Amino acid sequence: MDRLRDQTATSAVMERAKGAIMALTGCTPDAAGEELLQRAKTGSRTLLEECWITLGSLPPLGTTTEPRVGDDAPGANLSAIPAPTGPRSVRPDTAGPADQDTCDLDDGSTALGRLGKALVHVVTPRDLAGCLLEELRTDVDADALLLFRSLQAGGLELIGHAGIDATLAAQWARVPPLSGIAALEALRAREPRWLEDFTTDRDRHLLIGNPPERWLSRAWLPVPTGDDAEVCIGILRARSGPFSSQDRQLLQAVVRLCAGWLRSFGARSEHSTAAAAAAAQPVFDSLPGSAVLLTPLRGPSGEVEDYRIDAATEQAVDVVGRTGRQLLGRRILECFPSLADGPVWHGCLRALTTGEPFESEPFAYQEVVDGAAALATYTLHAARLGGALVVTWVRHDSSDRQEQRLADVQRLGNLGWANWNLVTGEGSWSSQTFLVMHRDPVLGPVRLAGLPGLALPEDAPVLAQAVRELVRSGRQFDVPFRIRAGDEVRHLRMVAEVVTD
What pLDDT is recorded for position 459? Answer: 94
Q: Where are the alpha helices (DSSP H) in 26-179?
A: 29-42, 47-56, 102-105, 111-119, 125-139, 166-171
Residues 254 and 236: their CA atoms lie apart, in Å, by 15
The answer for residues whose C-beta is within 8 angstroms of residue 209's C-beta and 6 or more apart is: 168, 215, 236
Q: Break the chain down into helix, strand, coil percent, rounded to 5.
A: 45, 25, 35
Residue 248 vs residues 194, 244, 312: alpha-carbon distances, Å: 9, 6, 47
The answer for residues whose C-beta is within 8 angstroms of residue 60's C-beta and 6 or more apart is: 225, 226, 227, 228
- Quickly count: other Cβ atoms within 10 Å of residue 353's Cβ: 14
What pLDDT is recorded for position 321? Answer: 79
Angle at 264 between CA 261 and CA 266, to 5 degrees: 60
- Ordered by start, the domain boundaries in the chain are 1-107, 122-267, 270-396, 407-496
What pLDDT is recorded for position 390? Answer: 93
Residues 484 and 320: their CA atoms lie apart, in Å, by 57
Q: Is the pTM of this model over 0.85?
A: no
What pLDDT is recorded for position 26? Answer: 65
Q: Are 270-396 and 407-496 equal in CATH topology?
A: yes
CB 417 within 8 A of CB 410: yes
CB 378 within 8 A of CB 365: yes
270-396 CATH: 3.30.450.20
407-496 CATH: 3.30.450
The answer for residues whose C-beta is within 8 angstroms of residue 212's C-beta and 6 or more apart is: 198, 202
Q: What is the DSSP string of 418-467?
A: EEE-TTT--EEE-HHHHHHTT--GGG-PPPGGGGGGGB-TTTHHHHHHHH
What pLDDT is recorded for position 92? Answer: 39
What pLDDT is recorded for position 102? Answer: 38
122-267 CATH: 3.30.450.40
Side by side, the strands of the sheet bearing 156-162 are: 174-175, 156-162, 144-150, 228-237, 217-225, 193-195
Paired strand residues for 375: 366
CB-neighbour burial class of residue 211 (10 A; exposed 0-12, middle 13-18, buried 19+): exposed
Residue 426, phi then psi, degrees to nearest 5: -75, 150
What pLDDT is recorded for position 374? Answer: 63
What pLDDT is recorded for position 253? Answer: 84
Mean pLDDT for each 10-residue chunk of the chain (501 residues)?
A: 52 67 69 77 72 62 42 38 44 40 42 71 81 90 94 87 91 90 92 94 93 95 75 95 92 83 58 62 89 85 84 88 87 86 89 89 70 72 88 76 65 82 82 88 88 93 93 90 91 89 67
